[in-house]
Structure 1
Amino acid sequence: MAVTKAKSASTSGTTTTKLSKDSKKPKAATSVVGAPAQHKQTSRKGKKAWRKNVDLEDMEETLEDIRGEERLFGTALHHKKDEDLFMVDSKGDEKLRKALPKFSTSRLTSHKILAQRSAIPAVVSRPTSSGKKRSAAHVSSTDKDRLLRIGKKARRGPLNSIVDHDQFGEGSAVMEVSEAVKLSGKYDVWSGEVEVEGVKVKAPNVPHPRNAIAIPAIATPHAGASYNPDVAAHTELLRTAHELEEQRLKESMKGQDVKERVLAARRTEADIASGGVDGMLIDKPGEGVEEEDEAGEEVVKPKMPVRKTKQQRRKAEKLRAEKRALVERALRKRLLASVDTVKTLRKSTDATLAARAQAIAERRARVQEQLQKGLAGQRLGKHRVQEGEVDVQLGEDLSESLRGLRPEGNLFRDRFVSMQQRALIEPRVPVLPKKRRAQTKEVEKYAWKRFE
């Protein structure tokens, strides 16, 4: 019996010690916001336990304060402007006391909590069929059908049939009518007014030079171009053709002279570089100095500029300030003197503007008068409009009858030049095909590059 009592006493002692240890165990820490937290832990051996027991109470408090501001004001206060948060009240509001909520002892706390409405709009589970516009994320049935066809997905056709994307027109190729075809007939290319983003832009009214040209399509030939012309008319036409040909020869000779001078200058530069011409060599810098050094004469070296002292810099600055003051005084005197001559200056300015306007009007009149005769001889773009050829026969080539008449000129060339002169087509020059020349390239074989 004594042994069993001792065992029971020892057993009871062990149980009491275990209970006392459990009673001293600290309670789990709770978060301020209400979420469970266990900040105190004896061991953080694993990443999972370390992440779980990080103390984030300060961040949670800050985020909860921001959420409270959003519920009350619709957005966080630090996002609002100062004008929306503060105001200078110099008079005071007499109705403010009546607008403030009064303390009520009969109102329950639950009713007060339910009376507080959040400024954030409620989340809608599905869109309602109200008069609101659909969002940009909405995809129409046509776009959805097109995307399914491009992605080669199964689509439902008529009578709930599945459309095969392998058929013609059902793949990734766009088979619908383009926007240009849909909008065809609504835009007039030749209209004067152009609409850009709802704003009508009127085209500038610039007169076309074709409207001022008054020459006929087929010009009347000169009297000296007849098969049996008058002597005076034939002589005049011959003189005109001679002057045109002489002018062309002068221009060609002028270009030839310029070309010869350029070639001569290139040859001279090549001779000077090779040293074949005496008396044309230019001394190189430093050659004369070396000869004088060898002769033993004294060489004059350039004097280096000496740095100015502070006194000299102050003196130079003072001189510059005096010069600026004198210039400003002279300008002021000239300005004061010009005040009395304002009327004279105004009259002279008006006269100058009138003369300029008259010169512009005269120049425009000359241009219009010249345009009436066509665009012959004027430069348009890269080329110049041709003036036309003078077709004339010499005295011994003239035939006094139509039977022996020989045709002169080219009707196609005449019509082409006439259309250029009347501004119907742009000036052109004949482009002749060039024969392709094969360039020979000499290559030394690799076996012959290195030999002993």
Structure 2
Amino acid sequence: MSKKSAVGAPSQFNQSSRKGKRAWRKNVDIGDVEQTLEEIRAEERVVGTAVNKLKDDQLFFTDTKGDEQVRKRFSTSQLTSAKILAQRSAVPAVFSRTTSSETGKRKLSHEEKERLRRIAKKPRKGPFNSILDPSEYAAGSGVVDLSAAVKESGTYDPWAEPEPVEELKDGLETVFKPKPKAPSTKQTRQLIEVPAIVEPHQGSSYNPPAEAHQELLLKAAEIEKKRLEELEKMAEIKKKMEMARLTQEEYDLATAPGMTIQPIEDVEEEEAKADNDEEAGPSAKKIAERKTKAQRNKMARVLAEKRALAQKAEKKRLLASINDAKSIRRSTTRIMSEKEKEREAKRLALLEKLKKQGLAGQKLGKHKVPEGRVEVQLGEDLSESLRALKPEGSLFHDRFQSLQQRALIEPRVPVLPKKRRNRIIEYEKHAWKRFE
């Protein structure tokens, strides 16, 4: 038989005989002692120390005002998870290192001690308590000081104003190093202010408010409707392309010489016309007569007169528009200013969209940056409890999508493995065909 302790201690076997000291110590019942110690530990977690050590004025007091937080505490409901997190022990946590506030000597690190020894030129010991030669410290046996390049790192500014150069007297006054110009345009990633982890919508909670959940459902429905419309449009375009494409047989008949397909009515009309022409006899074709020189001169004079009249009308129109030059200039300036304002408004709108949404929905290269997916559940699928909650989405997918939208990596699509095209040929050697 085994007996379990009330506070969860390991079970021990009962032993009727206690002849030996070892058996007596092993099977002694200390359940009441452990229970008392556990109660003292519970008091320390709540109060900070044992209750019997406190004085009466620390345990009791006369309440003349009342607790103002009682009604608030009992009126508002609190989640079970919040209640669990609100329980904190009054005993201070145990630290793995000492946190004494005594101001004593500052302990030097090994590198600092080595540096001070080198400055004081004290002998240094190597392996087997050997004294190292000071000239050999930098040959791998000791700590080498930082180089001048490392000490001056971070102090050079490539966009700073150059120092004034003294005028040269050897004929090279105009030969100077070109001054570098700082870039005036910012990178795309510098314009984006999208956080790495976007705060989810209130309607995506496991127990969301009704208005927020309905709003997120409408947003998801609009996105799905837009996607279906695009699919229908692409299907219609594909159908038109298939209808416009000729079959192989029709293409051969259409391209072969003398094999054009005509309706039977057109063929009968052509045959009847040919018979009538044969009965009427061969008709003489009308040949264009050669113009004389006088006719050609007359046509040239008429053409020159038309051109002169056209130039005169154009000149008259220009002279009439001189009086309207100021109004034309004002209207042109107004139209150009309006176009410039529209262009600037469009540029600012694009910058604002880039700042809030990043590159979502834009095409860069061959691929398009994906937009954020709407994670929402229907009303009957809501769990209303953390225990029955089913996780949706993928943290890796969200992180990869965030990097693409913030212009940190280029947009990519998953590359699926291709099937093997080459067929594997198996050969059976002759030695394996002999069964003996």
Give TM-score, length-normalised by structure 2. Answer: 0.48
Mark the structure with the bigger radius of gyration: 1
Give TM-score, length-normalised by structure 1. Answer: 0.47
Structure scoring higher RCO (CA < 8 A, sep ≥ 6) equals 2
